[in-house]
Each structure stands twice: as structure tokens, then as C-alpha cells.
Amino acid sequence: MKVLVVGANGQIGKHLVSLLQKTDHLEAKAMIRNEEQASFFENLGTEVVVANLEQDIETIAKAADGVDAIVFTAGSGAHTGKDKTIMVDLDGAVKTIEAAKVAGVKRFIMISSFDTRRSAIQSAPPSFAPYVAVKHYADEWLKSTDLDYTIIHPGVLTNESGAGLINAAFEVPRGEVPREDVASVIIACLENVATIGKEFQVVTGTKPIKDAIQSI
């Protein structure tokens, strides 16, 4: 299975590409914004495609040519304004979903925010509420399609080494989770068709990743 990693140069994206390339049955195609980011992926033997989420649907669909699944790990980042949050986390996500349809790619995994329900928008601090809102609508757009989607809602992301132990369910207590473990969760979802049509929250816990995903 070849997997287009959208946002490959992000922290989760780099972990995911590295882990995919270590398997014997999954292969990454890294979508990056510019050529200067390519060397990390080329050193892993990864196919690279340059495309920007602020470009049109057809450009993103062309980037998805020849893949079997798309993983959306992109994000505008904490240091950008509300304009980039809209253009990347909402419009970029929606265009990627639409590009999947154009490219004929059915499997789609979305990395979302921990809680994107409407109640979470209403209760979020004013500075964070716009981000929750755009993630809410991106998730809802994906769920309205006939794509084979999975939506992952990670807790507070850390750069700790992955422990391979998580707690995953539709709703779990808030907590932290290493980005490396989130990447492993993505792979477990790609390997498990039972995760299609489901969304879940994930934090560090006590269950091995594959066991936790199997019980979703």
C-alpha cells in the first residue's frame, strides 16, 4: 500500500514517513511544500512530491496519483494567524478530501484536534476556538463523504519517544501522547479495515497500540 503523507515535513509527518519506510508492506509518498524540504525524505528512499495546500484541488489530486491511501497530518502551526488556520487546516483539508475523490483514492486518515465537537468550540478559550471550529468543519466534511475515513483525535502532543502504549476510544480523559506514537497509531489504522468509518481520541495509556486500535 502506497500512502500519501500530506504535511510530511511536520513532526508527526516525519515520524510517519520514517515508520512507513521501515515496513515491508507499506510505502510512503511524501507531500512537501518546497524542494528544500526534500533531502530528509530522499535519504529514506521516499518518493517526494511538491505541492502546496493553498494550490487548487487538481494540483493536490496530481500529487495523489498512484497512491492507495492519504493521511492528512498538515497544520498551519501555532505561530501563524487565523488566516493560515483557515487556509491550511480547513480549506487545505477540504481540498485534500476532494482531491482524494478526483484521484480515486478511497482510504483517508485525518489527524484532527482532541475534541472537535460543537461543545468544544463553545467552551474553548477565544484564542483557541477558531482552530477547534475549523477542525470541526473539516471533520464534518470528511464524514459527509463516501471515503473510507478514519479520524484520529490525539491528546496534547509531545516529543517524547514513543512508548507504544495508548488509551484509545471515542472519548477518553485528556492527556498527552508522543507524536511518534500517533504515527504508529496511523499505521495501525492503515492495517486495520475495522477502523474505517470511525473516529477516536488517543492519549498515552496502558494498551499496546495494535490491541487498543483493534478494540476501537
* Catalytic site positions: 131
Q: What is the C-alpha separation between 89 and 84, in angstroms, rounded? A: 8
Cα 107–chain centre separation: 12
141, 188 contact by CB (below 8 A): no
First to last CA, the chain: 22
Q: What is the C-alpha separation between 20 and 25, in angstroms, rounded? A: 8
Give Dmax over CA atoms of the chain in angstroms. Answer: 45
CB atoms within 10 A of CB 93: 25
Pairing verdict, β 207-208 and 165-169: antiparallel
Q: What is the C-alpha separation between 77 and 50, in angstroms, rounded? A: 19
- Residue 105 DSSP label: -
Name the residue with cell 501522547: 177
Angle at which helix 11-22 crosses helix 179-190, to 10 degrees, equals: 50
